[in-house]
A and B are shown apart, each in its own frame.
Chain A
């Protein structure tokens, strides 16, 4: 059983290699046609001496043919070296490690919020199809998809910061004057909880909740719709009718029998949603000045700094693969039939 699971994971990882490889090569090529010579940029503008620029180009390896550069890049990536960011002066790996927890914390919180809202809404809608509840859920979903995340975020700031004054200044993960917790996991909420600093936890939480809610609203629709559709299909099943006939309590039928069977497609969608959110975070991170990886990549892109953008895209592709794998494994937990091929 365990060996079979291991083989499956290995097989999936092997199958993912061509896609990740393709992403790396494609990113590399796209970055190479970017206008603006980074050597000129970092030599201090066009006024810098030609010799200085040439020296920088040689140092950065930009004077070699593109295929050679690609080979060097692949070798570096294979050894875990993503290059050095020219704007921050640090290795990209270090930068990403510092900033990834912020993005992950935001995305996980948003996904959690969305699931907590979407699953009950989807169930309610499925229990009474065509009722007022169903229509309200449908309306909410339709609206959620149509609101651009950057507008939702700004309107939430207006209501909760300006009008109600419930939220703190919507910039960054934590108030600049507040003390940061000792870094254990990099997830502020976890770190504050681990050190027992509940005032700090509350401060970090109030900063996090608006951007997370913004993301959650945007992905509510696919999750709720899928829950509804899959619950509807399951509730029509014979075993539900049997459970009803046996006199089981209604909540038990819904939560234990129906929901567990209906969860598979929801899991798949949740995986897709998670990967999409990590990429689409750029806009939310920009609105809330969130120090995550997406805003890091955006800043690097605007400075024609190749390495961070390549590192970011590679990171996204890897996360995409890992998330798909995790979903696959969760599938097996939720429904053992899905694994027994």
Chain B
């Protein structure tokens, strides 16, 4: 009975929140659409994303090819749809990796303090002093030109931000009454951090995750634009832009514009979602 009532009211509450934040609603819709497109790519795409057809190369957008065809006659729309899978997967994997590692490390450092905390702090300083994009480039070059290495590189350059964030968030709660209570009732350090502190800072970290997803997508696309990580026939947005770049001076705009637009839309949705979540969680932070 209560479950039956609880569900619609939860939905109604979410609807009420989103009606007040039309931009956030748009971002949420856009994100859902992106994920849906990525999942349904094989059914949505009208053409094979890697089948070449040189006779039909470099055609501007038309009824048959809504977004035109590229220099090898591949349908750009189909490649974009498949590309969504890879780009979103890279970003999601990288961000979850750095979130899990960074939040744990940061939370333990913030809770225990002391020498380890200082050492990690120094290491984070060193990482932040790096030109991060260059670090990512070097890592992909070092680990080899594979997609999973883009994930690792992007995760590493996101790591310092999560460590810092989680560290401060935990440090300010360390002396809170409920943490004292948990300690007094005999919980160990690991249990307090994992069972009490991490869940407590999770909403704030969620904002960070959403903002970071956009950044991760830009990073991954930037790496593959430089020819690192993703190799040629693979449908991926960054490499599509890189391939189209050669033809932009000749006026073939659709090779660059559509994958660029897809990237922009994805980043836009994630950023707006993050802003919206932050507004809902903490209205004072509104800028």
Q: Residues of A at under 8 Å CB distance from B?
A: 18-20, 22-23, 26-27, 30-31, 33-35, 142-143, 145-151, 154-155, 157-158, 161-163, 169-170, 225, 228-229, 275, 278-280, 282-283, 286-287, 294, 297-298, 301-302, 304, 309, 312-313, 316-317, 320-321
Q: What separation, in Å, do the CA atoms of A310 and B23 have in the docked complex?
A: 44
Q: Residues of B at under 8 Å CB distance from A?
A: 122-123, 125-126, 129-135, 137-139, 141-142, 144, 214, 218, 221-222, 225-227, 238, 241-242, 244-245, 248-251, 253, 256-257, 259-260, 263-265, 267-268, 271-272, 287
A279 touches B129 (CB 8 A): no
Contacts of B250 in A (CB 8 A): 162
A31 touches B138 (CB 8 A): yes
Q: What separation, in Å, do the CA atoms of A147 and B241 have in the docked complex?
A: 13
CB distance from A332 to the nearest CB of B (A): 23
Q: What separation, in Å, do the CA atoms of A320 and B133 have in the docked complex?
A: 14
Q: What separation, in Å, do the CA atoms of A151 and B256 have in the docked complex?
A: 7
B272 touches A142 (CB 8 A): yes
Contacts of A23 in B (CB 8 A): 126, 129-130
B256 touches A146 (CB 8 A): no
Contact of A312 among B134, B144, B272 (CB under 8 A): B134
Most buried by B among A150, A163, A228, A298: A150
Q: What separation, in Å, do the CA atoms of A316 and B138 have in the docked complex?
A: 14
Contacts of A150 in B (CB 8 A): 222, 225, 241-242, 245
Q: A18-B122, A148-B263 in contact; A154/B129 too (CB < 8 A)?
A: no
- Of chain B, the residue at the smallest CB distance from A228 is B287
Majority DSSP secondary structure for residues of A touching B: helix
Contacts of B227 in A (CB 8 A): 302
A34 touches B271 (CB 8 A): no
Q: A151-B263, A158-B256, A302-B141 in contact; A313/B271 too (CB < 8 A)?
A: no
Contacts of A151 in B (CB 8 A): 241, 256, 259-260, 263-264
Q: What separation, in Å, do the CA atoms of A59 and B266 have in the docked complex?
A: 50
Q: A19-B125, A30-B138 in contact; A280/B133 too (CB < 8 A)?
A: yes
CB distance from B261 to the nearest CB of A (A): 8
Contact of B126 among A22, A286, A302 (CB under 8 A): A22
A158 touches B251 (CB 8 A): yes
5 nearest interchain CB pairs?
A279-B131, A151-B260, A22-B126, A146-B267, A316-B131
B129 touches A162 (CB 8 A): no
Q: What separation, in Å, do the CA atoms of A147 and B265 have in the docked complex?
A: 9
Contact of B129 among A35, A157, A304, A317 (CB under 8 A): A317
CB distance from B31 to the nearest CB of A (A): 13
